Structure formats: C-alpha cells, structure tokens
Chains A and B, each alone.
Chain A
Amino acid sequence: MGEPKRTPLYETHCNLGARIVEFAGWAMPLQYTSIVEEHRAVRTNAGLFDVSHMGEVEFTGPSAFETVQRLITNDLGRLRPGRALYTPMCTEEGGIVDDLIVYMVEEARFLVVVNAATTDGDYAWMKDHALPGTTVVNRSEEISLLALQGPKSLAILQELCDGELSALPRFGFLPSCRVAGYPVMVARTGYTGEDGFEIFCRPEDAPVIWGALLEVGWHAGVRPAGLGARDTLRLEAGYLLYGQDMDRTTTPLEAGLGWTVKFEKGEFIGRSALLAQREEGVKRRLVGMVTVERAIPRTGYKILKNGSPVGHVTSGSYAPTLDKNIAMGYVPIGMAEPGTHLAIEIRGRPVPAEVVKLPFYKRPA
C-alpha cells in the first residue's frame, strides 16, 4: 500500500486533535472529539467534513454527453447545466462498478465524483468506454472537496459565498462562485441525510476556506466532523457505501437503487442484463433492519431466519439520532418485506431483528 496519501487539510486535522485513520489509502480524520457529538452537531446545527479523498473525473467534448449517458444507469437527459444526479455505473453483467454523482457543468462538460478507493479503477473504466470525441481527465489531484452539512449550513455558507444559495434545489449547483474570496464550485449535495453543500476548491485554498467556515459557523454550533460520523449519518439516512453495501457482485435492482435505472433512456452498459433481471425478478434485496437489543450488529455478521443463515450484514451501527441499533444487508426476496422477523448473530447468539423500510431516518420537513 505504501504511505497513506494526505489531503491538503491533514495538518489542520492534526492541529484540531483528530484521530487519524487510514481509509481507502488516505490518512483521514476518524473523529475530532466523539462520533456521537459530531453526528449530533450535523443533525442539529452543521458539521464540516474533509472529503478531499473522493475522486473527480471530467468529461468534455462533443460526445461527452453520449459517453457519460452510456456509462451510467440514470438518465443524463434529465439534467441541464447546473444540475447533478446520483447514479450507479455498471458492468455489462449489471454489477456496480461504482456509485457516482454526475454534475452537468455545461452541455458538453461533466464533472463526476467517484469514491476514493475506486478512483483509479473508475478512471480506467471510463477511459476504456469513452466514445471518440470525449476527453476524460482525472482531476482528483487538482480538486479538494469540503462538505458542510446540517440545517444551519445554508445560513453559514451564505455568509461567505457570493452566489445565491437559497435558490439552489437539492442536486443543484453553482459551477463558479466564490467562498471566502476563493474560486469554488458549490453544490447542494451530500451524504448525511441533512440539507447541505459540497464545496469544490483548489487544494491550496482548502485550509483557508475550512478555517473561514469554522470561524463563521462556530457560534452557531458548526463543528468539524470525521469519517466516523459520516458513516453513522449516511447509514441512518439509508445511503449505501460502495465496497460494503454494493460492489460488482450486486446490481442496482438488488441494492434498492431501481429508481436510478432508466431503461427507457436507451442503450447503456448493463442495460440488457438489468432488463433480464427485472423480467425474472430479483432473488435477493438489500434491506434495512432494526435490532431490539443493545448489542450492535456489525459488518459481516450473519443474518438468520429460523436459525439458518440467509445473508450477512453489510453495514451496521448504533444510530445516535434514533438511539437504536440498525443494519443493512442482502436477504432472499421473500424475506425483504418490512415487518419480516429475522435475527442477526452477535457473538454466537441470535439477536431478533425486524426488516424496516429505508431510510431509517428522514429529516423533518
């Protein structure tokens, strides 16, 4: 593996007393004070995350639209400049190569945010499948990414931003504006289940923007938040984590991402396999589960039905907002209905679990 990579905010995290862990080849802050405190800060005020480990790939050129449209399962035709969408990217067999957010910057210019662990593989896959007339460039080294998430993020970011943010819908973005005087792209996207923004900036500007956001927001309760809180927040919100809740062996239809597969848009990689799977019906499905005991279900634990293993937990945690233990995992389709009684094996003991509708947490309207 070699030395883990550092984001431009590494020193900043250390100075804030963060506990640093290696994640996807990067030295990242797990937590600054406590996962639960940071989680609550995001749900009630706002939290500031460094997500510069995420990758960015840019598509430009006359065939850029066609190239991206063929790579993803969602429909790029629904976008206009300044709008983004969430989508899986699949293999011919319908397995998920990665999950992405595609930002239409201009009609023939797209910025695609990919997971850190999959950046290199995605970039190779994208280049391999690019049509003539599309330029694919890995911009990951040139872009740092901050996420300000939580109910107070709009008010706080607006204090520093020269663009009008309140008019942005969810998944809308300003391709070019300024935050604290520095050139950025600001998007109303995130991975926490709260209102929030992601700020794409130059690496050299990241520490100053980070500092400015904390300074302006501190009195309102904004706190730095690490990967630990990011994981509990996304799990409560029912967001899948690539490599854990989905990978090349699972399809979007099995993962509960059927809403992102738009067969009617025309040809795309994986279409025929996914169409066949839809016709036949999926055999298993990702479900949410809530357990009743204090012991926490964790990744890899067996899911049981009448004492027999039927799957395993892909993500599990204590959910701070709900004060419950929650988990996700794949189960045979006949056991996927909310209300189904299952069990999760924790240290050799079956702990009762009930299938529930996702997400576990929805922010108050």
Chain B
Amino acid sequence: MYPEELRYSTEHEWARLENGRVRVGITKFAADRLSDVVFVELPPVGTEVQFMQPFGVVESVKAVSDLYAPVSGKVVEVNEALKDHPEILNQDPYGEGWLVVIEPTDLSELQKLLGRDEYLKLIGEA
C-alpha cells in the first residue's frame, strides 16, 4: 500500500526518483480519503513549481483539494489520461494514476520528505 522506495509529503503526495527526474502522485491514503475523484486540474508542461506549494487541484464529489509539489522544478510531463479518466487516481495511485513528472532544481529537497515509516505514522497506520 505504501512502497518503500518512495518519499512522502505531509500533504499526501508521493515522489519517485527516476533517472534524475521526479514522478509525483498522491498516496493510497489520499486516494481513499478523496474517493470519487471526478476532475484533476494539472499545470501545463513547462510550468515552474515550488517545493510544497500548490501546483494543481483534485476534485472529488465532496470536496476540492490542493496538490502540493514535493520538489521544486519544471513540469516536464503531465498525465493526460487523467483528463478523461480521473478515476484511475483512485484505482492505481502509484501506477497509472501518477500526476506529473518534475525536472528538479534541488534534489536534496527529497530528503525533507518523509520515508515510508514516518508517513505511516503520520496517517496513523504505523
């Protein structure tokens, strides 16, 4: 449910280092809390995002929530599949339901994020 190799933000995003770039999504916990995701608003490729600043929103039937960038940098890929199939965020948050890929400006920011065990503590599942 919470892969060991990921870094986690206190706002329930995950970050995965892939060849110097960072793939970003939301955790299983966040996906379950949201349930019924009906719309994901993501920035266009090229947008500069800041560490732990909002870069998009996810709308469920019940509420709208900000998405926070787990690392600063430039958006180089956006998951276009979410446009027509926002429900994959619920179904596969660590796989098909990824949000963006960021070209990071400061990889050390990842160290400020939580490891798996710390994140599990945060959500009360430790």
Contact = CB atoms under 8 A, between A and B. Distances in A.
Interface of A: 30-31, 34-36, 228, 232, 294-296, 298, 317-318, 320, 347
B61 A347 contact: no
Nearest to A37: B36
Interface string B17-52: 000000000000000000110110100000000000
Contacts, number: 34
B62 interface: yes
A298 B64 contact: yes
Interface in B30-86: 35-36, 38-39, 41, 57, 59-62, 64
B61 A228 contact: yes
Nearest to A296: B59
Nearest 4 CB-CB pairs, A to B?
A: A294-B39, A35-B61, A318-B38, A36-B36
A34 B39 CA distance: 16
Interface residues on B, range: 10 to 19
Contacts of A36: 36, 61
Given A35-B61, A228-B62, A320-B61, A295 B36 contact: no
21 contacts: A30-B62, A34-B35, A34-B36, A35-B35, A35-B36, A35-B61, A35-B62, A36-B36, A36-B61, A232-B61, A294-B39, A294-B59, A295-B39, A295-B41, A296-B38, A296-B39, A296-B59, A318-B38, A318-B39, A318-B59, A347-B41
Contacts of B35: 31, 34-35
A295 B59 CA distance: 8
Contacts of B61: 35-36, 228, 232, 317-318, 320
A296 B36 contact: no
A30 B60 CA distance: 13
A317 to B, nearest CB: 6
Contacts of A317: 61
A40 B13 CA distance: 30
B44 to A, nearest CB: 14
A295 B56 CA distance: 12
